[in-house]
Amino acid sequence: MSDDNKNVKGLSEEMAISVVKEFVGNNMYVLLSTVKANMIKGFSFPYVGELEGVGKALYFFSTYEYAKEFVEENDFEILDGIYPLAKLEPGEKMNSFETICAIAAHLGIMYIDFNPGHPNIALGTTIPWLQKIFNYDLSKITLIVSNKVKEEMEKKEDSKIPIDFNPMPIFKFKDPYFIDKERKDELDVIPLKEYEDVKLYFDAIKDLSISELCYLSEVIKKTYLPRASAEGNKERMDILMAMYSVLDGIVIQKLNMIKTYTLLDNDEMFINHNQAAYLIYTDRFQYMGEYRYKEISLDGFLRQMEVNDVSYAIITSGPGHMHLTSAAAIRQTLDKLTKRQY
């Protein structure tokens, strides 16, 4: 067997070539970086691992199930249920297998691991061997250059394009926190309706998602309350504040049933922003900001608010809509929930 392919074990060169061509000729799944992922737009870049004896490597899988098993068994982060995987189809242009190999080679990554960890159909090989088998021209690279990179190049008057992997769409990506215009229009009218009693309003919003409730909170605070105030309509303002209070209780109850997070600075200190602390209800966006996430219960969060003399909490997905509540409101709702259990 060729020295270039010395890492393919137990296979003749002819068999190894056949297996690799079968891989590359069909759909493959690429392991992506979680840390570099854009979890708003749904893309990331190939994950670069370090393998003993061969150095830096990329990971490809012949089926989505194999890829998911590898992620789970090796404790890769699965942010908010989204696996860090991309689907690579034959005929792909911007992210063809040849382009990925060419970029990898330029970055000093010379090893491809196919189906790593699989007991029967795992295969590892070097990029120079793949280049020989497929007659790849690794000097030709197709790059997607962002506007930000273009601007930086113009500032430096540098014509050299920095080489890095192209962004790849995360397979089966969805953003449950995004609210489109049609849905916003539906939510906008909820506070405008007349409700005979509080229960009817409660029933109208109790099944909304936390992100929808945060959006509705902003609508009440930033649109309807200022409008009622400008009109001098105190009765309308009282009704809106009552609606806000009911919404607040529902948000806190929902938060009490899920994992929640707060933000720490580089010194591991609790973030206090103008007497308000952040309470995040998903870890999906934790690598997209400057602060570190820390999982925390509502009780633990309240204790931190007291220690740090913080009066208010900003509830958000991170980049999404926000709801403002108080330490007193959180405590009151938690106390009510505790009493119901007895």
List the one residue out of 280, 277, 278, 276 whose CA is nearest residue 260. Answer: 280
Residue 291, Cβ neighbours under 10 Å: how many?
Answer: 15
Residue 161: predicted pLDDT: 66
Which of the four pLDDT bands, split at 50, 70 and 90, describes residue 251?
very high
List the one residue out of 26, 39, 20 whose CA is nearest residue 284. Answer: 39
Residue 46: predicted pLDDT: 97
185 or 20, which is more confident? 185
Which of the four pLDDT bands, split at 50, 70 and 90, describes residue 91?
confident
Distance CA(244)–CA(238), nearest Å, equals 10
Return the CATH superfamily for domain 3-169.
Answer: Uncharacterised protein PF11572, DUF3234 (3.40.1350.90)
Distant-in-sequence, close-in-space partners of 240: CB < 8 Å, separation ≥ 6:
191, 220, 224, 225, 228
228 or 16, which is more confident? 228
Residue 290: predicted pLDDT: 83
Residue 7: predicted pLDDT: 45
Tens digits of residue pLDDT in 281-309: 999 999 988 889 999 999 999 999 999 88
Residue 320 pLDDT exceeds 80: yes
User: Which amino acid type is present at position 138?
Assistant: L
Distance CA(118)–CA(19), nearest Å, equals 14
Alpha-carbon distance values, 171 to 281, 286, 293, 319, 333 (Å): 23, 19, 25, 21, 39
Lowest mean pLDDT across 111-125, 250-264, 309-323: 111-125
- Angle, vertex CA 133, rays to CA 128 and CA 138, nearest 5: 45
Residue 1 pLDDT exceeds 50: no
List the one residue out of 167, 27, 21 whose CA is nearest residue 99. Answer: 167
Reduced DSSP (H G I as helix, E B as strand, rest coil) percent helix, strand, coil of the chain, to 5: 40, 20, 40
| 248 in Cβ contact with 323 (< 8 Å) | yes
What number is the average pLDDT over the span 257-262? 96
Number of H helices, E strands in the chain: 12, 13
Mean pLDDT value across the chain: 89
Tens digits of residue pLDDT in 176-234: 999 999 999 999 999 999 898 889 999 999 999 999 999 999 999 999 999 999 999 99
Domain boundaries, the chain: 3-169, 181-340
Backbone φ, ψ for residue 42 (5° rounding) = 85, 45
Residue 154: predicted pLDDT: 56
